[in-house]
Chains A and B, each alone.
Chain A
Amino acid sequence: MSRRFMAATITLLSLCAPAFAHHGNSAYDETARVPIKGVITEFVWVNPHSQIYMDVKDKNGSIVHWAVETNSPGILSRAGWTRRSIKPGDEVTIILCPAKNNAPVAYIGSGDPGTKVIFADGHELDFKDKTGAAQ
């Protein structure tokens, strides 16, 4: 088998392989994409897990505090985020993978395509690499 053929085979196999997010994600339902609307209370820009916290009104009108795990600042920067991309008071809808235990905890990130943050004015933050590199 030639090297070129082998490389092409590996590339093709890579495309078929599932994408993996960061460690510990078996706590989340990565087959689900759930929209949750709320108001940002805190954005923690820290390695290796950045975090988004927000207040969400439940069906009864009570406020539920949600905590959302996401990627490292390195990965987020390459996807066009900065530490100022999300601010307290921002009204957002987050398309997320909820915790399997129904706690108000969730994951969004590069390993789960379709997860993203949508702002009230319509602009979005997703996890697609914007550096132009072939991955």
Chain B
Amino acid sequence: MVVSVKMKNFVVCTFVVVAALMVSPFAMSQAAQFDPRDLSGVWQLAPGGGGQGPGDNFPPLTVWGQARYDTNKPGYGPKAAPGGNDPILKCDPMGFPRIMFAIWPFEIIPIRGRILMFFEGHHTIREIWMDGRKLPDDPDPRWYGYSVGRWEGDTLVVETIGFNDKTWLGAQGQPHSDEMRTIERYHRIDRDTIEFNLVIEDPKTYTKTWNTEPRLIKSRPGVEIPESFCVASEEEEFSKRIREPAARQPGKE
């Protein structure tokens, strides 16, 4: 009986040791293969429920925000209809944060004093100042705003102001104003994954701060960003040959 218990203990112990030996090198190599403060490389937002945008569960709109939302005619979401007036149909810049939710990858390129984001979407570069500067008091309005970043532990925190109000937050036509401020948080949780959190503060458009759904960004090893400009003349030709015939109401030429 004693032998039997010893034998049982031996078998259990052997199992535990073998399992540990199998798992630990894997865990160690996983841990060794990334620096949480090095986000360089090609990445892409993992598929999620936002529909090429931060989702449609936004806070209640202000009167100004509602008027803007009523004007927007998107191809996606609760208001989707063929045709529409999505600004990117004319190759207008997608702007931030919409470009984060596009279906194309992007490269994070840290350089001295800055982090660059090079998006396949519309072949766009966005710059995040990392040299300790403050946000400007009265920045010119821009499609991508003016961004400064800092590290909080292993989380990259980026604040952006100075947007124009010509872009949508996503393909579903979510509006924003030139008073928008965004706060992004990037936390690399393993070699292949960044957790991405986006907060949108825009009191002119929304009655509350919008804490959007957290999303995952996955690494795209081996992917190179190709030339991918959105060229208005080419897009116009595409519209004439495909978009407009597809959106035309039956019976109307």
- 28 sample A-B contacts, Cβ–Cβ < 8 Å, listed by A number: A3-B187, A4-B189, A6-B214, A14-B48, A19-B47, A23-B171, A24-B82, A24-B84, A24-B247, A26-B82, A27-B83, A27-B247, A46-B238, A48-B122, A51-B238, A53-B241, A68-B242, A69-B238, A72-B228, A100-B82, A101-B82, A101-B248, A101-B250, A102-B250, A111-B103, A131-B223, A135-B44, A135-B46
* 8 A Cβ contacts from B210-224 to A: 214-216, 218-223
Q: Per-position contact with A for B58-72: 1 when CB-CB < 8 Å, else 0? A: 000000000000000
Please name all residues of chain B whose beta carbon is closer than 8 Å to the beta carbon of A14 when the two chains form the complex. Answer: 46-49, 216
* 8 A Cβ contacts from A33-87 to B: 46-49, 51, 53, 67-69, 72-75, 77-78
Q: Are B216 and A75 in contact (CB under 8 A)?
A: no
> Which of B13-21, B73-81, B130-138 has 4 or more CB atoms under 8 Å from chain A?
B73-81
Q: Are A24 and B218 in contact (CB under 8 A)?
A: no
| A20-B51 in contact given A51-B242, A101-B250, A135-B44 (Cβ < 8 Å) | yes
The docked-state distance in angstroms from the alpha carbon of A134 to that of B122 is 23
> Which of B158-166, B174-182, B229-237 has 4 or more CB atoms under 8 Å from chain A?
B229-237
Chain B residues in contact with chain A, CB under 8 A?
A: 44, 46-49, 51-52, 74-76, 80-84, 86, 88-89, 103-105, 120-122, 171, 187, 189, 192-193, 195, 214-216, 218-223, 225-231, 234-235, 238, 241-243, 245-250
The docked-state distance in angstroms from the alpha carbon of A30 to that of B118 is 31
The docked-state distance in angstroms from the alpha carbon of A27 to that of B89 is 14
Q: Are A24 and B215 in contact (CB under 8 A)?
A: no
The winner among A21, A28, A134 for most chain B CB atoms within 10 A is A134
Q: Are B47 and A46 in contact (CB under 8 A)?
A: no
Q: Are B223 and A133 in contact (CB under 8 A)?
A: yes
The docked-state distance in angstroms from the alpha carbon of A99 to that of B227 is 29
Closest A-B pairs by Cβ, 3 of them: A27-B82, A24-B75, A26-B80
B75 nearest CB neighbor, chain A only: A24
Q: Are B47 and A135 in contact (CB under 8 A)?
A: yes
Q: Are A49 and B242 in contact (CB under 8 A)?
A: yes
Give the contacting residue for B48; candidates A10, A73, A99; CB below 8 A.
Answer: A10
Q: Are B241 and A51 in contact (CB under 8 A)?
A: yes
For residue A94, give the distance in angstroms from its CB to the closest CB of chain B: 14
Q: Are B246 and A11 in contact (CB under 8 A)?
A: no
Q: Are A10 and B246 in contact (CB under 8 A)?
A: no
The docked-state distance in angstroms from the alpha carbon of A102 to that of B216 is 38
Give the contacting residue for A47; candidates B219, B223, B228; CB below 8 A.
Answer: B228
The docked-state distance in angstroms from the alpha carbon of A69 to that of B89 is 14
Give the contacting residue for A49; candidates B48, B84, B215, B238; CB below 8 A.
Answer: B238
For residue A34, give the distance in angstroms from its CB to the closest CB of chain B: 14
Cβ of A120 under 8 Å from chain B: no
Q: Are A133 and B219 in contact (CB under 8 A)?
A: yes
Q: Are A132 and B222 in contact (CB under 8 A)?
A: yes
Q: Per-position contact with B for A1-21: 1 when CB-CB < 8 Å, else 0? A: 001101100110110111111
Please name all residues of chain A whose beta carbon is closer than 8 Å to the beta carbon of B218 when the two chains form the complex. Answer: 133-135
Give the contacting residue for B220; candidates A17, A67, A99, A131; CB below 8 A.
Answer: A131
For residue A105, give the distance in angstroms from its CB to the closest CB of chain B: 4
Q: Are A13 and B222 in contact (CB under 8 A)?
A: no
A21 nearest CB neighbor, chain B only: B103
Q: Are A133 and B246 in contact (CB under 8 A)?
A: no
For residue A103, give the distance in angstroms from its CB to the closest CB of chain B: 5
Cβ of A128 under 8 Å from chain B: no
The docked-state distance in angstroms from the alpha carbon of A25 to that of B223 is 26
